Structure 1
């Protein structure tokens, strides 16, 4: 009997400046553990006139995780944070009851040719912490647990695995693990995982139950303890998941909550300028469906 619940292919999604590969949420699988949203950005080759300019936009009820393979993004938020995200670093912003941030090409790269490639991930907060104060944490690449075993390189971006713990301050039991294999071999790590498990194939190929799977897809397991697969040489995958929540989560635009009333309040708050602001930013992203005549007040 197959241990795969589902195979989710990347679908193109327009985020304003360019297309990304949307993986979660999916109509047949809204979440994997507490993970509720995953976008694969790029790889995108940008010329001297192309820049990322995602203006101020709000979030509630989640933590965002940005992890780049190539390029750089300037993150600014209503907490006063201003940091340039570089490859290998983890940018972790917890929205809680409400935060606003922008994502832009750094000034030093404007007017130049550049590449952008990475993952953007949302992790829903437990119900008891949905209204917590917002917070921000930035981890350098050197802070992340990394080790090698049997020609396999492991890096723990968030959560816990095999006695290792990422410095990222997560709020529920979870894991986000990068695995790169230099040779073709079988990986059997189900005994070290828990909750629900998804595997995103970034590059190379993975064989599961006799079938080879190529990049840009997520495999979701039925039974965590049976999580085993063969990696082709030169492959990189991301295992993610954790304990699922007892309550359903609703998602609308950038808002995640365990009840619809909270979503509606956030929509009204953004339209009526009740979210915190970012000093020096003046081009907020309108709520989807906002009539053009009302956008200038946001």
Structure 2
């Protein structure tokens, strides 16, 4: 077997606005993988008796990529300058194409902030091809109820984006990808994950233990998948494990990013900053 697992990386623990999160990507040894730019894993027990505006991330802009959030526990409220005000609960996904510019906020629902409880999310950033960076922004929610889910030899699979097992996610994207959440509580359960030969990607373990093409991986670690002759990665459960899979075709375009903007040149980023300050990305008042 031609092993597709290039390396296994420990996530870094970083402070983001007072919230401690796990960040496997970017990493000092790995800036990005194909179209995938960033992964942030946040798990926190909210104390309750808070206003939602006291928790999470307030209004901020984006341009040129898609920030996507999978909700594993709790609920997340999305508001944006398009007028959207929407809550996605555990098992669902918030997919936003920032396009030519949008302002949004990401906070726990009012109910979760007031009552308290566990909030666990992963946000990852997907680069948008140059041809679509200035498209109109859009918000694509995917609740648990409409997420395609099935079982395969002891593994539970929830398809976020792309095609798998003859099924197609309703989430539309500008680049060939397959994104899914996988979990198993059956030691020894094995599944082959299809990855086209010229695709790359990452597999991030939220918690638990597994092997990928025979290599051990544990919670808060990420495996990078390289192109190769083998058209699948073998995943075996060691003990109860949850995993996020991001795979896709390479995106061979220059990347210049600054804060919330991901473009191809420094001039494009400078223009994004000007446009934001000129109010061209709209307004969001909570």
- Output the TM-score relative to the length of structure 2: 0.89
Change (3 A) 1:138 1:74: same
Secondary structure of 1:100's partner?
A: strand
Gaps of 5+ in 1: 282-298
Change (3 A) 1:129 1:140: same
Q: Does 1:243 align with 2:249?
A: yes
How many Å separate the matches in 1 of 2:195 and 2:246? 15
User: C-alpha offsets along residues 41-96 of structure 1, whole Å, 9 cap, x if unaligned?
Assistant: 11x11213554242210000111211111112211000110001211111111111
What is the number of equivalent residue pairs in this alignment?
A: 279
Is this contact kept in 2: 1:198–1:239, CA < 8 A?
A: yes
Displacement of 1:10: 1.3
How many Å separate the matches in 2 of 1:65 and 1:95? 10
How many Å separate the matches in 2 of 1:114 and 1:257? 37
Change (3 A) 1:266 1:146: same
User: C-alpha offsets along residues 235-289 of structure 1, whole Å, 9 cap, x if unaligned?
Assistant: 22222110111212222111111222111112233344443102x33xxxxxxxx
User: Residue 48 of structure 1 corresponds to which residue in structure 2?
Assistant: 48
Secondary structure of 2:24's partner?
A: strand
Displacement of 1:194: 5.5
Q: Does 1:159 align with 2:166?
A: no
Change (3 A) 1:270 1:156: same
Change (3 A) 1:58 1:196: same
1:231 corresponds, among 237, 252, 259, to: 237
User: Residue 296 of structure 1 corresponds to which residue in structure 2?
Assistant: none
User: Residue 225 of structure 2 corresponds to which residue in structure 1?
Assistant: 221
Displacement of 1:28: 2.9
User: Residue 30 of structure 2 corresponds to which residue in structure 1?
Assistant: 29
2:276 corresponds, among 270, 279, 282, to: 270
How many Å separate the matches in 2 of 1:195 and 1:211? 20
Change (3 A) 1:156 1:194: farther
Change (3 A) 1:107 1:209: closer
After superposition, the CA RMSD in angstroms is 2.1
How many Å separate the matches in 2 of 1:233 and 1:106? 32
Is this contact kept in 2: 1:181–1:232, CA < 8 A?
A: no
- Output the TM-score relative to the length of structure 1: 0.86
How many Å separate the matches in 2 of 1:114 and 1:83? 20
